[in-house]
Amino acid sequence: MSSKKISPLERQYIVLTQQGLPLCAKPYHWLAEQLDISVEQTLAMTNDLKARGIIRRVAAVPNHYKLGYKFNGMTTWDVNDDQAMEFGEKVGQLPFVSHCYLRPRHLPQWNFNLFAMVHGRSESEIAQYQQQIKQLLSDVLQSHQGPTNDVLTSTRILKKTGLRLRVNSK
Amino acid sequence: MELAIEFDSLSQQIINTYQRGFPLCSRPFLQLATEFNVSEQEVIDCLERLKAQQVLSRLGPVFNHMQAGASTLAAIAAPVDKMNQIAAIINKSPQVNHNYAREHDYNLWFVVTAATESELTQAIKDIELAIGYPILVLPMERSYHIDLSFKVCFKPLAQEVANDH
């Protein structure tokens, strides 16, 4: 089985678990029963999906908003293409950056190619993080037009769900 | 800023330990109960409480959308007076799993997912048609850090600042 391809049984696994595992002493027993395979096979399948990068981790997913992290900022940067990879890596290592991506520019509407998401408990915390990233990128920032960087703070969460695979889709 | 909910030390340990992952074995909570020096049932009860308080949104596998199908970030510059209306149309799509309002000309930012690239392209076209505004499509070209877990600091903000100085 190639790493990206998902078998019908694995698809069933995803559909059964994408909303979470049941909170009981033996959650994989429940899953094994649903999949009609043994608990050992279920655990092996979980390990395999993890090894192939389809499952990132099996974990508790906290609602950061409820934990006081009410502010998030999508910081966006216009970084020299030759050094974007190297500096993207560096920004991604910062402890307050939860994810960091390189994305295409759409000139003239959109000139930023590096995105780094930061989370904080106050607006000033977000501003402080933006400054720290700016310092790190000071030598590689450029300006196709207008500003070299921006921060888009979220004002409202309009929708947030986990992965939703339909049962019958291929 | 004070947290609205008070967390006992077991809750704090559970939140910071479990968001990185729990052990892959038939009784994952028993293993951590031993580590925390409590019973398996106490761990489960605590998790149930945190879920009821919506502090935990779910517990289980976290899937990588990139591996499980196709997805992209997308943005729209919606006129402010039509923002809610447009957001409602976007949210109706089962293929949209995040949608945030942000302070910018591009004020609606959402993630579209699909089983394949061609279905993704079609989904974006469909949304564009339904709302009547062009969508800025910003697929990931490279990711550097996609771990959404981070250590939660339970100290009140003021105290944390005081300690830093």
Question: Domain tally for chain A?
Answer: 2
Q: Is the Cβ pair A98, B141 closer than 8 Å? A: no
pLDDT < 70 positions in chain A: 1-4, 162-170
Query: In this predicted model, what pLDDT tens digit does every residue of A19-30 receive, in sequence order?
Result: 899 999 999 999
A161 within some domain: no
- Please indicate, yes or no, whether residues A77 and A29 belong to a single structural domain of this protein: no
A168 within some domain: no
A56 within some domain: no
Candidates A46, A52, A93, A103: best to mutate against B (most CBs of B within 10 A) is: A103
B26, B56, B90: residue with CB nearest A61: B56
Distance CA B15, CA B18 (A): 6
CATH number, residue A103: 3.30.70.920
A158 within some domain: no
Residues of A in contact with B113 (CB under 8 A): 163-164
pLDDT at residue number A141:
94
As beta bridge partners, residue B138 has B73
Q: Which domain holds residue A78?
A: 71-153
A55, A63, A169: residue with CB nearest B54: A63
Query: In this predicted model, what pLDDT tens digit does every residue of A89-127 receive, in sequence order?
Result: 999 888 888 889 999 999 989 999 999 999 888 889 999
- Please indicate, yes or no, whether residues A79 and A136 belong to a single structural domain of this protein: yes
> Would you give per-residue pLDDT tens digits along chain B (165 residues)?
445 567 888 998 888 888 888 889 999 999 889 988 999 999 999 999 999 999 998 899 988 766 567 889 999 999 999 999 999 999 999 999 889 999 999 999 999 988 889 999 999 999 999 999 999 999 988 887 655 556 666 666 554 444 443
Q: How many CB atoms lie within 10 A of CB B114?
A: 19
- Residues 65-84 of chain A with CB under 8 A from chain B are 66-69, 74
- Please indicate, yes or no, whether residues A144 and A100 belong to a single structural domain of this protein: yes
Interface ipTM:
0.71
- The encoded tokens of residue A146 equal 């207008």
A34 within some domain: yes
Residue ranges in chain B assigned as alpha helix (H):
9-18, 28-36, 40-52, 65-68, 83-92, 117-131, 157-164
- Please indicate, yes or no, whether residues A88 and A18 belong to a single structural domain of this protein: no
- Please indicate, yes or no, whether residues A86 and A38 belong to a single structural domain of this protein: no
- Please indicate, yes or no, whether residues A76 and A146 belong to a single structural domain of this protein: yes
Candidates A170, A133, A168; CA nearest to A149 is A133
- Please indicate, yes or no, whether residues A32 and A87 belong to a single structural domain of this protein: no
A117 within some domain: yes
Q: What angle do CA A107, A108, A113 make, to 5 degrees?
A: 40
Distance CA A116, CA A96 (A): 10
- Please indicate, yes or no, whether residues A101 and A129 belong to a single structural domain of this protein: yes
- Please indicate, yes or no, whether residues A42 and A76 belong to a single structural domain of this protein: no
